Amino acid sequence: MKKILVIEDTQNVRENICEILESENYEVFAAENGQSGLEMSVNVQPDLVLCDIMMPGMDGYEVLAAMRKEVITSTVPFIFLTAKNTRENQRLGMELGADDYITKPFTVEDLLNSVSTRLKRAEEFKVESEKKLNDLTKNLGAPITQVIAEPLRAILGFSKMLMTEYNNMEKFEMAEFNSLVYQAGMKLNTIVKKSFMFYNLQSLAYDLESLNKLKDEKTTDVKAFTENIINEISLFHKRKEDIVVNLENANLKIPSKYYMAIINEIVENAIIFSTKRSAIRVVGGLEDNQYTITVRDEGMGMTSSQINQVGAFQKFNQDLGENSGVGLGLINSKNILKLFNGNLIIKSRLGIETIVRITLPLA
């Protein structure tokens, strides 16, 4: 039986709504003001909330904003009951996360249709979310274990060799083994950092207070900052001569550490999935009051199916072995851009080129 919470300060309206819903076999809970309704929403954990907007004390907007900050009520379908259904009211409600409006006076049919529709959509969302969670859980173990195990084996193997055979080694051999251990350690470090960021971003999406503070930070002098990032990556992969960079300067409304993660991922992918002496072009500038960066490579490309399936722990180009990764970098980039009001588009022609285009708001 679905649970519905009705928050309405007018007694006869509240009682009429409860009676209608109970006649349709819903389990109904009633609150006479916003504060009481908010407390009840946490205790009851309803499947849907019907809430008046104009109430003394805590109004409907404040109730919705508070519910969206609570993890257990953040996704509960929320329908406003209002005598004023103006565009301004709707915009404010939608910005806070309202799902629908019912204008007073309303018919029984209006009420039941709206409730039924929102419960149905919530159920569909729940089913789809559970499917994605099951897919993620199924894919989580093997790929991440494989990718961690490969550099870990290298570290253990090479370090053991150094410990047991150093008396028989030349200095250049020891230096080479030390280099291999370092490279494996750096790879493992990258995997751990990407994994940590993935879960950090998942948490941040529900921590609106922390997210809003981060949205006040910015990346300044983006031209020099981006060029430095690309220079380090290209030197590490010995592809400096292949990369052409042409950027306008600006300040962006995103913390520098998250911006760096996006650029690192996109440029490194362009390097890894293209051959040496093939061109990689990075172009950035102002466009429609936003900053746009396009990274274009002449590599192996991706299929439409692979682009559509970009997500955590989704492996691509597995024939590349250690370079195939577990899909954390791209999904991290998409999640960062989503949190900071940016966008990412991938266009690709298999065996010809890949174009990644990101947009970010200006500070």
In order along its 363 residues, the chain shows pLDDT tens digits of 899 999 999 999 999 999 999 999 999 999 999 999 999 999 999 999 999 998 999 999 999 989 988 878 888 999 998 876 656 666 666 677 788 888 888 899 999 999 999 999 888 888 877 776 666 555 555 455 666 777 788 888 888 878 887 788 888 888 888 888 888 888 788 778 888 888 888 888 888 888 989 999 999 999 999 999 999 999 989 999 999 999 999 999 999 999 999 999 999 989 988 999 999 999 999 998 899 999 999 988 877 776 666 654 444 444 434 444 556 788 889 999 999 999 999 998 888 899 999 999 999
Q: Which residue carries 């009429």 as its tokens?
A: 16
Residues 146 and 81 grouped into a single domain: no
Lookup: tokens for 215: 């949205």
Contact call for residues 253 and 362 (beta carbons, < 8 A):
yes
Among residues 147, 173, 206, the one where a domain terminates is 206
- Residue 316 sits in a domain of what CATH number? 3.30.565.10
- HSE-CB at 242 with a 13 A cutoff on CA atoms is 24
CATH number at residue 152: 1.10.287
Rounded to two decimals, the pTM is 0.56
pLDDT at 257: 94
Q: Which residues contact 219 (CB under 8 A, 6 or more apart)?
A: 225, 251, 252, 254, 255, 256, 259, 363
Provide the residue range defining the domain that includes 163.
139-206
Q: Token pair of 20, please?
A: 């209608």
Shared domain for 217 and 82, answered yes or no, is: no
Beta-carbon contacts of 302 under 8 Å, excluding residues fewer than 6 positions away, are 316, 346, 348, 350, 354
- 292 with 193, same domain: the answer is no
Q: Is 177 found in the same domain as 50? A: no
The DSSP element (H or E) to which 290 belongs, if any, is strand 290-297
Structural domain includes residue 95: yes
Same domain for 229 and 168 = no
Helix H segments across the chain?
11-23, 34-44, 60-69, 87-96, 108-165, 171-204, 208-214, 222-236, 256-272, 304-308, 328-339
Domain stop point among 84, 106, 128: 106
Domain count, the chain: 3
Structure tokens at 102: 């019912």
Could you tell me if 329 and 243 lie in one domain? Answer: yes
- Residue 340 sits in the same domain as residue 225: yes
